[in-house]
Amino acid sequence: MNYLYIVMTIVLTVFGQLAIKMQVSKAGALPADAGDKLWFLIKLLLNPWIIAAFAAAFLASVSWMGAMTKFQLSHAYPFMALNFVIVLLLSAWMFNEPLSVTRIAGVALICIGTVVAAQG
């Protein structure tokens, strides 16, 4: 049950990252003009998905605080590397981002490091 705090932190963090990417992609490129740039950012900040992403980040922090009451930081923190794996796979699926051999190798190294760190 204690690991649920870590799982919720990961799920909420990944959701926030994907929601922001989805909405920023829909909004288009950041304008060059300062006034247009400010209006662009205000519209994004008022977007319900962006608000949900910020709420998810807050709830992820709350979940992480719960995890910190149950685990040593050095044990719990390596699990946060799973964010890299999940975001890589979901961004390839949802946004057709390239899934190159280099990226896969990098994530594999992160996974190996996570397993090694979690054993200690």
Helix ranges restricted to H, 72-100: 73-76, 82-95
Cα gap 36→89, rounded to integer Å: 34
Q: What is the pLDDT along the chain (120 residues), one digit of tens a residue?
A: 899 999 999 999 999 999 999 999 999 999 999 989 999 999 999 999 999 999 999 999 999 999 999 999 988 888 898 999 999 999 999 999 999 999 999 989 988 888 887 776
The CA R_g of the chain, rounded to the nearest whole Å, is 17
Question: Token pair for residue 40?
Answer: 């662009």
Placement of tokens 């923190």 in the chain: 77
Q: Which DSSP symbol is given to 31? A: P
The amino acid at residue 116 is V
